[in-house]
A = this chain, B = another copy of it.
Amino acid sequence: MSDTLEHRVGEVTLTVAGPDGRPLAERDVTVAQQRHAFAFGNIGFDFVDLVGGADVAALDRLGALWLRLFNTATLPFYWGGYEPRRGSPDAERLARTARWFAERGVTVKGHPLVWHTVQPEWLLGLDLDEVERLQRARIRDVVGGFAGLIDLWDAINEAVIMPVFDNGDNAITPLARARGRIHMVRMAFEEARAANPSATLVLNDFDLSSAYECLIEGVLEAGVRIDAIGLQTHMHQGYRGEEAMWHTLDRFARYGLPLHMTETTLVSGHLMPPEIVDLNDYQIPEWPTTPEGEARQADDITRHYRSLVAHPAVQSINYWGITDEGAWLGAPAGLVRKDGSPKPAYEALDALINGEWWLKPTPMRTTADGTLTVSGFHGEYSLTADGHTLPFTITPTPRTIPVTLAV
């Protein structure tokens, strides 16, 4: 495992000129980071009800906490939740929520287009051809309908287990069993690609064993173009540690595709017993957050994010939950307690994303030639001088760019 972050950090040289085009020599300026290029994400599921809802104060409170840390929001497009009655999709609420995020500079992601869980009741009992036709139509409708607002999708979720899934009746498992996993993956990617050619499409799975490697190799060999490999890590049973994570990352990095850590969970209460195989099978009435658990969660999240950001193949980390209120499985996996107060894990992430990995507003001075060299995490920055503020970016390639203050 590497400790260097050189793959995350870039350098840019600005040649700063005044409104008359002449270099601003030896001038005091302020440089500040505005946004990470790296996708620090979280789910935005809570906001589907909050945005446009009656409780504006609640939206403001949770929104402020959410927006302080994250730049990428995953919204729920589970078929059964999105279209519980055939032909009546929840498109308007989702679009309103997506716009709320987009207007605040947040990249919006949709999750997932094809999955065997959270399925609509009305799909059961239809024949396979009809199920496939409806599934294809749904992908086109959703991806095409949201193009421009949402250009990042989990195209298919958990294809490894899809044909042999036995934890609930659904119409997708029989289709996957009859047609094969690669057929399902191709269907998801080809329909989504056709509906939005500029979308980034992710293959997403929780199974990080050799099975997923074999699936990926088959999919690539079959000529299906995938844009990123999604790796879920719901660690309700405990943090897996840097070494194990890097071993996993290395195994999937060898396909030369970006790795998206799509679903990241660490709990701040007792750990789920190790013998549970399907996390959904562990349902308890109360799963409280505890001081010890919160300390562990904060420590784990720091170690985990450090090790992921240190791996060159990782392009995004999406945490799975902002508040414990209504969290998946009732687990205290949020970064914010039910009462709305931030946990230590929230502060720990803040210290990384907005502290150690962030360039705060910093006074700098141009040279006699009017140049200024800035280094920092890849992302968006601003230069302020003489009351003017101008944007620039830091990318992996060192560059010299002219910045001219407006008249």
Instruction: Answer whether residue A374 sits at the interface, using C-beta atoms and an 8 A cutoff.
Output: no
**Complex Cα distance A80/B113, Å?**
49
Q: Are A164 and B222 neighbours in the complex by a CB distance under 8 Å?
A: no
Given contacts A160-B210, A209-B211, contact A182 B221 (CB under 8 A): yes
Contacts of A1 in B (CB 8 A): none
- By a CB distance below 8 angstroms, the chain B residues around A251 are 164
A68 within 8 Å of B (CB atoms)? no
Smallest Cβ distance from A84 to chain B, in angstroms?
A: 30
Restricting to A202-233, which residues have a CB under 8 Å from any CB of B?
Answer: 207, 209-215, 217-222
List the B side residues contacting A209 at CB < 8 Å. 209-211
How many copies are assembled? Answer: 2
Is residue A355 contacting chain B, with contact meaning CB distance below 8 A? no
Q: Does A221 contact B180, Cβ atoms closer than 8 Å?
A: yes
The A contact surface, by secondary structure, is: helix
Q: Is A161 an interface residue (CB 8 A)?
A: yes
Q: Is the CB of B210 within 8 A of A161?
A: yes
User: Which residue of chain B has the shortest Cβ distance to A251 in the bound complex?
Assistant: B164
Task: Decide yes or no whether A177 CB sits under 8 A from chain B.
Answer: yes
As a 0/1 sequence over residues 178 to 193 of chain A, the CB contacts with chain B under 8 angstroms (1 = contact) are 0011100000000000
A254 interface hit (Cβ, 8 Å): yes
Cα of A285 to Cα of B329 in the assembled complex, Å: 49
A215 interface neighbour in B161, B207, B214, B254, Cβ under 8 Å: B214
Specify which chain B residues have a CB less than 8 angstroms from the CB of A182 in the assembled complex. 217-218, 221
Task: Name which residue of chain B comes closest to A159, CB basis.
Answer: B214
Contact B222 A181 (CB under 8 A): no
Q: Which residues of B contact A177 (CB under 8 A)?
A: 254
A214 vs B207: C-alpha distance when bound (angstroms): 12
CB distance from A217 to the nearest CB of B (A): 5
- Determine the chain B residues whose CB is within 8 A of the CB of A220 once the complex forms: 180
Pick the most buried of A164, A180, A181, A254: most chain B CB atoms within 10 A of its CB: A180
A65 to chain B minimum Cβ distance, whole angstroms, is: 39
A207: chain B residues at CB < 8 Å are 210
What residues on B are CB-neighbors of A161 within 8 Å? 210
Q: Taking CB as reference atom, which chain B residue is nearest A255?
A: B180
* Cα(A80)–Cα(B394), bound, Å: 54
CB contacts (< 8 Å) of A214 on chain B: these are: 160, 181, 211-212, 214-215, 218
Let me know if B164 and A210 touch, CB within 8 A: yes
CB distance from A358 to the nearest CB of B (A): 37
**Cα distance A209–B161 when bound, in Å?**
10
A164: B residues at CB distance < 8 A:
210, 213, 251
Residue-wise, chain A 158-200 has the 8 Å CB interface mask toward B (1 for contact) of 0011011000000000000100111000000000000000000
Is the beta-carbon distance between A180 and B210 smaller than 8 angstroms? no
Contacts of A163 in B (CB 8 A): 213
Q: Which 5 A-B pairs have the closest CB atoms?
A: A218-B218, A214-B214, A211-B211, A214-B215, A210-B211
